[in-house]
Structure 1
Amino acid sequence: MANNRTELETNQVTDQFSNTGFILAAIGSSVGLGNMWMFPYITGQNGGGAFVLLFFLCLLIVGMPVLLAELAIGRGGRGDAASSFRNLTTRRMWHNSGIFLVIGAFMLFTFYSVVAGWTLQYTLQSFVGDLYSNPNYAETFVQYTSGWMPVFWQLIIFVITGWIVARGISGGIEKFNKIVLPALLIILIVLMVRALFLSGAGEGISFFLKPDFSQLTVDSLLQALGQAFFSLSLGVGAMMTYGAYVEKNQSLSQATLAITGGSVVYALIAGLIIFPTTFSYGIAPTSGPGLVFIALPAAFASMPFGHMFGAFFFVLLAIAALTSAIGMVEVPVAYCMNRWHWSRKKATTLVMIVCYAFALPCVLSAGGVLSTFLLGGKTIFDWMNYITSNIMLPLGGLMITIFVGYVWTKSVEEAGLSSGWFRAWIFTMRYIAPVLIILILLSSIGLLKLG
């Protein structure tokens, strides 16, 4: 192992997660809009229950092994997403490779904060009832995104996220997740119970849980692989950074199971809210990204006490968005603390300012004054989404698998696996995960089109 850690890298990890706090923070990072917003509409577009099974299989084969790899690199390297690689190998070509992950997390937050801001606006509008004053919810969404309120709500996301990250690991990130994740689960269960007792809910439950394999295509497999990656916050260094704050007595294999299990539970409950609701009110489950912001408000408007349930649903989305946003922001903040020896407050402040300079054009292009400014037929928002989700996440994951599979020879010590499980893990890192991730990448950028 390279012994070139800076003094700050050594001191940084004194502010650590407790074992429980680490699990909750990691679950919080994974339980974001990927589970609550993206997973339901992708499931709807791919036939329901069969895609859910395929998604779970992808989590098992690719998601969990890569998650364990990220956590192991973070704890073994005891630095940020960039310095952890440098601390674990003498091969100079890897010393600056982790910067790619830092940039990925930075870019991901720029467009993620836009959608997170939408959830805050819809929460407020649902509580006061204004959301349901116009029955044309597509028009309502267009009017909102074309105005200036998204800029305000995005700024609120920045302020809240920055304030929590600036308070540190145990006093900020862990404390926040310990409070909001149980609250998130309670809201989920309440909304799920309400949805399951709607008239016609059985058809939605059947669609979500009963497999129809005739609806699956090879492209469904690639989407399931991509969703498994996105839902666990892999490939942008968030889990690696969190891993640096984990005690040595924490079993990373058990943590991987707990984090994946938590993510699956939240995704399942989200599906058991959305699909019974949409089927009960005649809304197509294939509505796409507009399912949450356009289709579901129509269902809440028709439901007894729908204003209240709608408000709780968007509170749920807002909490999920914030827990993931915190993980994204911690990646560049930790890097700046190590690279330039800044205090946490200074690093957080400067990261948020620079990130907002990129995020402002992003939000203004998602329906606002810059929406007509196109590059290659895409808005700035579309490009940020496309580059991070389709290119940087898969490339980041590929880099992690190659590093663990072929470069880091002492990974067995950090992973804490028995010899049999370790051989299976390394085999996956060397031969299975890289191939599947390359397929995700080729499919995402349009170079691989399968039926």
Structure 2
Amino acid sequence: MNQQKGQQSLLTEKKERFSNSGFILAAIGSSVGLGNMWKFPYITGENGGAAFFLLFIVCLVLIGLPVLLAELAIGRSGRGSAATSFIRAGGGKGWKAAGILQVIAPFLILSFYVIVAGWTLQYAVVSFNGQLFSNTDYAGEFGSFISGYMPIVWQGVAMLITAAVVILGVSGGIEKFNKVLIPGLVVLLIVLMIRAVTLPGSSAGVSFFLKPDFSVLTAESALVALGHAFFSLSLGMGILLTYGSYVDKNQSLGTATLAIGAGDLLYAFIAGLIIFPTTFSFGIAPDQGPSLIFVALPAAFSAMPFGAFFGGLFFILLAIAALTSAVSLLEVPVSYAMERWNWSRPRAVWILSLVCFLVGVPSAMSLGMFPELTFGGKALFDWMDFITSNIMLPLGGLLITIFAGYFWKGAADAAGLNARWFRIWLFTLRYVAPVLVFLVLLHTSGIIKF
């Protein structure tokens, strides 16, 4: 009886579909995450500003979008979870491991992603109530915060919010969530951008971000830009394979790919026009690494009029971006659990959310509470980030290009491109993307260095 209920639940879920606009917003929500607001500014600052941003755009358009289209097409063709998409789309049993990788990666990413999402929720609260600006030792405050138990509390809050959305289903939860939050995100971005570019001395930051100096670029910059194009579009982590399975046959995947890429690029552009004018206005170096958001920017907000208000808006913006991506990450293993074990959606959501939270707790503790959770000079949190972002995601993207470029006989019909664009797309997947993604994998894993 329970098995029949589980099978019926699975059939019901598989009848769920995104609306065309809802799918695009959900996919944009998966790409518009902490990567573009937290990681993108500091790697852009470390690699020279505007020239790196242009390089990122080139990588996103020439490599990121073709792989994005491939993921969506495989997902829609397979109509299954990320684990079975390759086989259902026509691949042999040997592709099962590639599918499993696409489920494990987002689960592990989510385990530490909700930790950072929790930080943003905490910082939004203490910014609005003024507590954040009561002590000017922002580095000390951040270190003290991540060394205590509160990050685990906020990690739990972020996980509960994520679970509450996913449990409502594809159209009733994920789509509605993104239809509300993505437009709200745009409003916050515009408000903060206007505030940033009107600060005294902000023009230097605008110039840094928009006036390129190509002499600062290196071969390493190119690989970093390509790697971030993959990360920012959520490629290689099973999200777009899963979302593709919920897309109607009448949805143009080519149009959707362009819309998703444009949304991701626009978000990165506005994020740059928030971060760099603000940092330059207050004499903050833009290449401070991950601490730029949680240490340097609070100092800037404290010095500007109505800083608590704008600081609160900024961290709410970060929290929204983090949660829209967290929802996408959780949906991948949930889809797999419903398919593999015939679990109902509520059961899959609550079990996987609890396990994911518990897996993430040691990572949160490794940042200060239990510094002995350090191996080879890296905290457990950093190891989780390194293994997933630098090895599993590029490897997942590489497998997608190889499958779509060489093994998938139904690629032409599934992609829905005309003959000319299909030839360009296939050439990219066969001869350009695999080589560059393989180089990214070698670089991010530390095998090759510059």
For Structure 1 versus Structure 2, the TM-score category normalised by the shorter chain is over 0.9
**TM-superposed deviation, 1:90:** 5.1
Deviations 1:316-366 (A, max 9, x none): 000000000011100000000000111111111111111112111111112
Equivalent position amino acid for 1:18 in 2: S
Instruction: Report how many residues are paired.
Output: 444
1:67-106 to 2 correspondence within 5 Å?
A: 67-89=68-90, 91-106=92-107
Which residue of structure 2 lines up, in the alignment, with residue 229 of structure 1? 230
Aligned residue runs from structure 1 range 226-305, under 5 A: 226-305=227-306
Q: Is the 8 A contact 1:74 1:81 kept in 2?
A: yes
Aligned-residue offset at 1:97:
2.5
CA contact (8 A) 2:10 2:342 kept: no
After superposition, what is the alpha-carbon deviation per residue over 1:196-238, rounded to whole angstroms, capped at 9, x for unaligned?
A: 1111011000000100111111000010011000000111100
Change in 2 beyond 3 A, CA 1:447/1:14:
same
**Structure 2 equivalent of residue 414 of structure 1:** 414
**1:404 counterpart residue number:** 404
- What is the rounded CA distance, in whole Å, between the counterparts of 2:442 and 2:371 in structure 1? 28
How far the C-alpha of 1:133 sits from its partner, in A, is: 0.8
Residues 404 and 429 in structure 2, CA contact (< 8 A), matched pair in contact too: yes
1:268-323 Cα shifts (integer Å, max 9, x gaps): 10110110000000000111111100000000000000110000000000000000
1:332 pairs with 2:336? no
* Aligned position for 1:374: 374
Q: For 1:279 and 1:315, how far apart are their aligned partners in 2?
A: 22
Letter in structure 2 aligned against 1:94: W
Partner letter of residue 126 of structure 1?
S
Give matches, 1:127-276, under 5 Å.
127-276=128-277
Per-residue deviation, 1:447: 1.1
Tell me by how many angstroms 1:11 deviates: 4.4
Aligned partners of 1:337, 1:356: CA distance in 2, in Å?
19
How large is the Cα RMSD of the aligned pairs? 1.1
Structure 2 unmatched ranges of 5 or more: 1-6
**Greater Cα shift, 372-381 or 133-142:** 372-381
2:425 equivalent to 1:425? yes
Q: Distance in 1 between matches of 2:327 and 2:349?
A: 11
Provide, for residues 145-171 of structure 1, a one-character-per-residue CA deviation record: whole Å limited to 9, x for no partner.
001110000000110001100100011
One-letter code aligned to 2:135? N
Provide the residue aligned with 1:66 in structure 2.
67
CA distance in 2, matches of 1:94, 1:231: 25
SS in 2 for 1:320: helix
The answer to whether the 8 A contact 1:401-1:429 is kept is yes
Quote the offset at 1:372 in angstroms: 2.5
Contact 1:226 1:440 in 2 (8 A): yes
**Aligned-partner Cα distance in 1 for 2:183–2:404:** 34
CA distance in 1: counterparts of 2:404 and 2:221, whole angstroms: 28
| Compared CA separation, residues 61 and 104, structure 1 to 2 (3 A) | same
**Are 2:91 and 2:408, in contact at CA under 8 Å, matched by a contact in 1?**
no
Question: Following TM superposition, by how much is the alpha carbon of 1:371 offset from its aligned partner in structure 2, in angstroms?
Answer: 2.1
What is the aligned partner in structure 2 of residue 342 from structure 1?
Answer: 343
Structure 1 residues 241-267: Cα deviation after superposition (integer angstroms, max 9, x where no partner): 011101111000000000000001111
Counterparts of 1:34 and 1:316, CA distance in 2: 13
The letter for the 1-side match of 2:275 is: I
Equivalent positions of 1:36-51 (< 5 A) are: 36-51=37-52
Q: Unaligned 5+ residue runs, structure 1? A: 1-5
Structure 1 residue 424, shift from structure 2 partner: 0.8
Give the Cα–Cα distance (whole angstroms) in 2 for the partners of residues 297 and 352 of structure 1. 31
Letter paired with 1:340: W
Indicate how the Cα distance of structure 1 residues 361 and 408 shifts in structure 2: closer, same or farther if over 3 A, else same: same
CA–CA separation in structure 2 for the residues paired with 1:332 and 1:78: 15
State the secondary structure of the residue aligned to 1:107.
helix
- How high is the TM-score relative to the length of structure 1? 0.97
Give the Cα separation in 1 of the matches to 2:324 and 2:63.
23
Read off the aligned partner of 1:408 and give its amino acid letter. Answer: W
1:135 is paired with a residue whose SS is: coil
User: What is the SS of the residue equivalent to 1:82?
Assistant: coil
Q: Which amino acid aligns with 1:420?
A: R
Distance across 2 between alignment mates of 1:177 and 1:249:
21
**Which residue is 1:3 aligned to?**
none
What is the SS of the residue equivalent to 1:272?
helix
Q: Distance in 2 between matches of 1:95 and 1:121?
A: 40
- Equivalence for 1:389: 389
Which residue of structure 1 lines up, in the alignment, with residue 109 of structure 2? 108
Name the amino acid aligned to 2:274.
I
In 1, the alpha carbon distance for the partners of 2:92 and 2:287 equals 48
Q: What's the CA shift for 1:111?
A: 1.2
Distance 1:410 1:23 in 2: 23
AA partner of residue 371 (structure 1): P
Aligned residues with identical type, % of pairs: 59
Are 2:23 and 2:243, in contact at CA under 8 Å, matched by a contact in 1? Answer: yes
Superposed displacement of residue 389, structure 1: 0.5
* Map of 1:308 onto structure 2: 309
Shift of 1:91: 1.6
**SS, match of residue 98 in structure 2:** coil
Partner of 1:353: 354
The CA distance in 1 between the partners of 2:252 and 2:157, in whole Å, is: 36
Partner of 2:4: none
CA deviation string 1:106-150 (max 9, x = no partner):
111111111111100100000000001111110011010001110
d(CA) in 2 for partners of 1:282, 1:76? 52
Q: CA deviation at 1:13?
A: 2.7
Q: What SS class does the counterpart of residue 287 from structure 1 fall into?
A: coil
